[in-house]
Structure formats: C-alpha cells, structure tokens
Amino acid sequence: MDLLLQQLLWLRLLLLLLILSSWWPSNFQLLVAAPQQSSGMIAKQHNAIYCHNKLRSAVESVLHWHRGNAIWRDRKTVRMIDSD
C-alpha cells in the first residue's frame, strides 16, 4: 500500500510540473514583452522557451517511464496469475 501511495504522490507532482511547464512560458513572454525589445530581452525569452521545452521533455519522459513500468508490472502479475 505504501508503494501505491508513493507512486500516486509522484504522479501528482509530475502532473503539477507538467501543468506549470505549459503555463509558464506563455505568461513569461507576456511579462517580458515590450514595444522595443533589446537583444538581451530576446535572449531571455529564448532561454525561457528552451528551459520550458527541456522541463516538458523531462516530465514526459518520466511519465512515459512510469507508464512503461506499470505495464511491465501488470504483465508480470498476469504471468504470475496464469502460472498458478
């Protein structure tokens, strides 16, 4: 039961990160957008988009790994039940 609870907490954390990662860049761009942008401002925007894409990629890979492990555990359970 503790393992299931721990996995649910991790999943909630990852979903929260995914939601924040999809919200942050668009609002960040609105905050830093100015009529006359300097090259430094544009560089900050590109850096924010790059960081956002890296974070999203990391979250998606962890979710994919978690899903793969769940499928593997389900198949292992099915094999154990079939062998009985």
Contact 62, 14 (CB under 8 A): yes
Could you tell me if 55 and 25 are in contact, meaning their C-beta atoms sit under 8 angstroms apart? no
pLDDT in tens, the chain (84 residues): 577 778 878 888 877 777 766 666 555 555 555 545 556 666 777 777 777 778 877 777 777 776 666 666 666 655 555 554
The pLDDT of residue 49: 77
Q: Give the per-residue pLDDT at 55.
A: 80
End-to-end Cα distance, the chain = 23
